[in-house]
Amino acid sequence: MSDAPFVARDRAWHPPALSPAYRTSVSRSPRHAPISFPQTLSETTGPVFGHDLPGPRDNDLIHNFAAPGAAAIGPRIIVHGRVTEETGRPVPGALLEVWQANAGGRYRHRKEGYIAPLDPNFGGCGRVITDADGAYHLRTVQPGAYPWPNGGNDWRPAHIHFSVFGSGFGQRLITQMYFEGDPLIWRCPILQAIPSEAAVKTLIATLDMRASVPMDCLAYRFDIVLRGRRQTLFENRMEGG
C-alpha cells in the first residue's frame, strides 16, 4: 500500500460549506478557511477493512433485514460500478456503506416522521467491499422521494447515501447517488449546492440494461472517484517501463 500524499482536493468542485438554500448549513458551516499542511501518515494512512467483513447478504438490501422467505417491497434494482482514483487507477478493497429510504420514501429511524409506512422487511442499509478491479454491486429496492423541512415544499430526489473508505483517511468521502431522469434532481437545494452542472451529473446513476436481469430487476451504474495519490518517480518508471 502506498503512503504517497493525495493530490490536493479541488474544493471548488464540492458544495461550499455555507449554502444558504440548504438552511441547516447556515449554522453548521465553518467561517474560517480550512488550513492546509503537508500530509503526514495521519492523512495518508487509514483503516483497512478485510474482505471477510461483509456477510453474504450485506450487499442485498432486498433480503438483509427481511424475514425468512420474505423480501422488501419496491422496484427491485441492482446498483453497480467501480471505484477509481482520479488517475483512473482502480481502488480495490474500498468499503462502501449505503443507506436509503424505503420504496415509499421512509427511513427506519426514531426521528423520522414522514407518513409513508415502514416496510417490516426493509432495514435500509448495507455494505460491500470492492474487488481487485475496484468493482462493486448491490441489490436493493428503488428508494422513494421524500419531503423534508427546509423551504415550504422541498422534496429530496430519490437517492442512496454512500460512505466510502479508500486507502487513506484523507480520501474519506460521503456522497449520494441519484437516478437518471428524476426531475427533482434539478430542484434539490442539497444537490444544487454543488457549483457545476457537470459535477452534479457525476452523481446521477444511469440505467444499465446490460446489467439488468430479465423478469427480476433493472440495473443502474454508479461509478465513484476518490482523490488520487501523487505518483513517485519510482512508480512512474515501474508503470512506464
Partner 1 sequence: MSGAADRPADLKESPSQTAGPYVHIGCLPNHAGLGGPWAEDLGARPFADDAPGTRVVVTGCLLDGTGTPLRDAMVEIWQADAAGRYAGGGAAGFARRASDAETGLWRLETIKPGAVPGPDGRIQAPHLTLWIVARGINLGLHTRMYFPDETAANAADPVLGRIEQTARARTLVAEARGDGVYHFDIHLQGEKETVFFDV
Active site residues: 107, 146, 156, 159, 161
DSSP letter at 184 equals G
- Residue 153 CB, nearest distance to partner 1 (Å)? 18
Nearest distance in Å: CB 136, partner 1: 12
- Shortest approach of partner 1 to residue 215 CB, angstroms? 25
Are 56 and 127 a contacting pair, CB within 8 Å? no
Nearest residue (CB) to partner 1, 75 versus 112 = 112
149 vs 152, beta carbon nearer partner 1: 149
Residue 17, φ and ψ in degrees, nearest 5: -55, -45
- Do the beta carbons of residue 221 and residue 211 sit within 8 Å? yes
- Determine if residue 194 is left, alpha or beta; phi over 0 gives left, psi from -120 to 50 gives alpha, anything else beta: beta
* 55/75 with CB nearer partner 1: 55
Q: Shortest distance, CB of residue 117 to partner 1, whole angstroms?
A: 17
Strand partners, 159: 178
Residues β-bridged to residue 219? 78
User: Which residue, 79 or 191, has its beta carbon nearer to partner 1?
Assistant: 191
